[in-house]
């Protein structure tokens, strides 16, 4: 359970950094995001999940 909360904390840190360091980029991405096809967003999300799982597997293995 400790690992879960550590991961959540890192997620919050990264999200906070995006808002703090690049707010204009975030606003621009929010403008562009509805224009991207759903299939492409889904594939990007699945790729990110795969990369994250693979990285955890390598680090914990």
Rounded distance between C-alpha atoms, residue 29 and residue 44, angstroms: 15
Q: What is the pLDDT of residue 61?
A: 80
Q: Against a cut of 0.95, is the pTM above it?
A: no
Q: What is the pLDDT of residue 2?
A: 87
Q: What pLDDT digit, counting tens, does each position of 10-56 carry? A: 999 999 999 999 999 999 999 999 999 999 999 999 999 999 999 98
Secondary structure of 5-40 as H, E, C letters: HHHHHHHHHHHHHHHHHCHHHHHHHHHHHHHCCHHH
Rounded distance between C-alpha atoms, residue 61 and residue 56, angstroms: 8
Rounded distance between C-alpha atoms, residue 50 and residue 44, angstroms: 10
């Amino acid at each position: 359970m400790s690992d879960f909360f550590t991961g959540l904390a890192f997620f919050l840190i990264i999200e906070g950094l995006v808002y703090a360091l690049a707010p204009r980029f975030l606003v621009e991405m929010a403008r562009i995001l509805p224009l991207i096809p759903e299939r492409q967003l889904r594939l990007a999300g699945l790729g990110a999940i795969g990369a994250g799982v693979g990285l955890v597997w390598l680090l914990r293995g």
